[in-house]
Amino acid sequence: MAVLHTGDFRFSSEMANNPVLQSSHIHTLILDTTYCNPRYDFPSQEIVIQFVIEAIQAEAFNPKTLFLIGSYTIGKERLFTEVARLLQKKIYVGAAKLQILKHLELPQEIMPWLTANEAESHIHVVPMWTLASFKRLKHLSSQYADRYDLIVAFCPTGWSFGKGRKKTPGRRWQQGTIIRYEVPYSEHSSFTELREFVRFISPEHIVPSVNNDGPEGADAMLAQLLND
């Protein structure tokens, strides 16, 4: 009896070509149901990454602009490493973060673009909580006032996407010299991706691994997921 535990994952069409998944009959699927709700139908990582890159290019008219990208202790690596690779620009991550990244087996061609020297880059990776509001950003901006005229912050989380919002890769707000983008970048599958993955795997039994507060809650989530 085969059991598949997804962990945190984003389903993509490439997975459907995986020969192991194609040939396996999955009895029980333990599924990452973080965004198992129709309101969280956000774009793919690739679309959001491209949006961030184009936003950085558009906002870089002032050479004294500081770009901030939110991250967790572990998480959001693909976003800022792709920004570094595609823009061919170094990104400041800090000494502690750099040590963590060295243990994540990132592609070797990425590592030279990451630096612990703040002066080498005007694109900085910072803790997500520092970007949570304009109030926090204003406090943060005071630390850079002598070097930068404008701060552009990217807050990457799927929770920024909700009911009634168009399937957009980002939204922009500005207060004075601070610009804040909310971008629905996530390491968890969107609702549509979850439905596609379940159809592909076609398991006999599904166990929601997130937001599962009991049989009734699990049944309600699965009803949304399986409802055609």
The domain ranges of the chain are 2-40+188-226, 45-183
Is residue 219 very low, low, confident or very high in pLDDT (cuts 50, 70, 90)? confident
**pLDDT exceeds cutoff 70 at 208:** yes
Does residue 66 carry a pLDDT above 90?
yes
Whether pLDDT at 34 is above 70 = yes
Structure tokens at 21: 């998944």
128-168 pLDDT, tens digit each: 999 989 999 998 888 888 999 999 999 999 887 765 556 78
Q: What was the pLDDT predicted at 141?
A: 87
The DSSP bridge pattern shows strands 171-175 and 178-183 to be: antiparallel
- C-alpha 87/C-alpha 60 separation (Å) is 12
Whether 218 has a pLDDT exceeding 90, the answer reads: no
pLDDT (0 to 100) of residue 228: 67
- Inform me whether the pLDDT recorded for 28 exceeds 80: yes
Mean pLDDT value across residues 73-93:
96
Summarize the confidence of residues 191-210 as an average pLDDT.
Answer: 94
* Long-range interactions of 219-223: CB distance < 8 A, separation 24+: 221/33, 221/36, 221/37
pLDDT number for residue 166: 63
Average pLDDT, the chain: 92
Could you tell me whether strands 65-71 and 150-156 are parallel, antiparallel, or unpaired per DSSP bridges? parallel
Q: Is the pLDDT score of 46 beyond 60?
A: yes
Tell me, which fold does domain 2-40+188-226 have in CATH? Answer: Metallo-beta-lactamase; Chain A (3.60.15)
Beta bridge partners of 206: 29
Q: For residues 28 and 152, what is the distance between their CA atoms, to the nearest angstrom? A: 44
Class of domain 45-183: alpha beta
